[in-house]
């Protein structure tokens, strides 16, 4: 009888505990948690509303410039350079890169107080794409941060902006331009003078840009559909081969590099790139 009583008492206590816990869960904790999640979501969207359109414009413009450089091997740079205006393409490309860094930094700061891992991961992917690899168009992580901070002209609850192109060009035109501008310009020159060598890095950066753009504008309200296609290394290399712009050996090397970086399908073991850019 004592054992039965003890078991009943324990069972009653357990039932009371779980009953109270369940009541707390459904009546207090869960509503509060759902309210907090909803408040976070609403506030995140409110914050993004202040910066979404200009951030998308900055990222889209850089995507367009990188795509043109990769596809044409920087033909526009060579064109204006032949006209004696080579600084234009260098400086404008440097501005597009710097402006993208500024909006990265703005997005990080504005969204730092909110639970937004999805955005953070995409920003980190873009930062990593710029800093990854060897010399050339490589911008280190904290260099990106510095450049972004230098271009932020205003950042408060009601006013978000970055440096204008005219102000940026005025800084470059100074007798003694800032160190960060000199460094950025040198990195951009590496991209424009060696676009073939930089193809895979450019494609990696562009893929990260597109992933961030798709996240910020999934319905394509601020960007056309055509601007949502990342650089396709395989297509570009095939086109270069079709126009004899790279040798078969160079094409094969680029495709292998792209495959190792996850930017192109793996090459067959005995792959040979023919004159028309076909791999077999």
Q: What is the pLDDT along the chain (280 residues), one digit of tens a residue?
A: 555 545 554 555 555 555 555 554 455 545 544 554 555 565 666 666 677 888 999 999 999 999 999 999 999 999 999 999 989 999 999 999 999 999 999 988 877 656 577 888 999 999 999 999 889 999 999 999 999 999 998 766 667 789 999 999 999 999 899 999 999 999 999 999 999 999 999 999 999 999 999 988 888 877 766 667 899 999 999 999 999 999 999 999 999 999 999 998 887 755 444 444 444 4
Which residues on neighbouring strands pair with residue 161, listed in sequence order? 154
Cα separation values, 108 from 60, 120, 122, Å: 18, 7, 11
Between CA 180 and CA 188 the distance in angstroms is 12
What is the per-residue DSSP string for the chain?
Answer: -HHHHHHHHHHHHHHHHHHHHHHHIIIIIHHHHHHHHHHHHHHHHHHHHHHHHHHHHHHHHHHHHHHHHHHHTSHHHHHHHHTT-HHHHHHHHHHHHHHHHHHHHHHHHHHTTS--HHHHHHHHHHHHHHHSSSSSS---HHHHHHHHHHHEEEESSS-EEE--HHHHHHHHTSSS--HHHHHHHHHHHHHHH-TTTTHHHHHHHHHHHHHHHHHH-TT-SSS-GGGGPPP-HHHHHHHHHHTTSS-HHHHHHHHHHHHHTTSSPPPPTT--B-TTS-B-
Domain residue limits, the chain: 51-227, 232-280
pTM for this model (two decimals): 0.79
Work out the number of other CB atoms within 10 angstroms of the CB of residue 186. Answer: 12
Are the C-beta atoms of 212 and 116 separated by less than 8 Å?
Answer: no
What dihedral do alpha carbons 10, 16, 18, 21 form, nearest 10°? Answer: -140
pLDDT at residue number 280: 40
> Phi and psi for 273 in degrees, rounded to 5?
-95, 120
Between CA 268 and CA 218 the distance in angstroms is 35
Between CA 252 and CA 164 the distance in angstroms is 42
pLDDT at residue number 34: 53
Between CA 144 and CA 97 the distance in angstroms is 9
Are the C-beta atoms of 207 and 142 separated by less than 8 Å?
Answer: no
Give the residue among 138, 147, 127 at the shortest CA–CA distance from 187: 138
Between CA 245 and CA 156 the distance in angstroms is 49
What dihedral do alpha carbons 95, 179, 175, 188 form, nearest 10°? Answer: -40
pLDDT at residue number 207: 96
Cα separation values, 154 from 58, 159, 165, Å: 16, 6, 15
List CB contacts of 165: < 8 A, sequence separation 6 or more. 92, 95
Between CA 143 and CA 209 the distance in angstroms is 18
């Amino acid at each position: 009888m004592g054992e039965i009583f003890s078991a009943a008492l324990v069972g009653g206590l357990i039932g009371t505990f779980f009953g109270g816990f369940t009541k707390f869960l459904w009546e207090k904790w869960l509503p509060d948690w759902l309210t907090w999640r909803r408040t976070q979501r609403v506030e995140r969207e409110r914050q993004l509303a202040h910066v979404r359109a200009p951030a998308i414009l900055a990222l889209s413009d850089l995507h367009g410039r990188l795509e043109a450089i990769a596809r044409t091997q920087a033909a526009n740079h060579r064109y204006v350079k032949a006209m004696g205006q080579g600084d234009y393409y260098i400086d404008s490309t440097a501005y597009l890169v710097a402006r993208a860094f500024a909006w990265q930094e703005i997005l990080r700061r504005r969204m730092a107080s909110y639970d937004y891992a999805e955005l953070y991961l995409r920003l980190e992917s873009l930062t990593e794409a710029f800093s990854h690899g060897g010399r050339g168009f490589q911008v280190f992580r904290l260099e990106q941060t510095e450049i972004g901070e230098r271009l932020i002209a205003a950042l408060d609850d009601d006013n978000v902006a970055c440096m204008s192109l005219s102000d940026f060009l005025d800084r470059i035109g100074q007798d003694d331009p800032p160190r960060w501008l000199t460094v950025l310009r040198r990195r951009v020159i590496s991209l424009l003078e060696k676009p073939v060598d930089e193809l895979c890095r450019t494609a990696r950066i562009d893929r990260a840009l597109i992933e961030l753009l798709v996240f910020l504008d999934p319905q394509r309200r601020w960007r056309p559909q055509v601007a949502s296609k990342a650089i396709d290394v395989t297509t570009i290399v095939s086109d270069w081969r079709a126009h004899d712009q790279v040798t078969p050996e160079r094409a094969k090397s680029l495709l292998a590099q792209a495959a190792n970086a996850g930017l192109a399908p793996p090459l067959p073991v005995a792959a040979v790139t023919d004159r028309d850019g076909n791999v077999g």
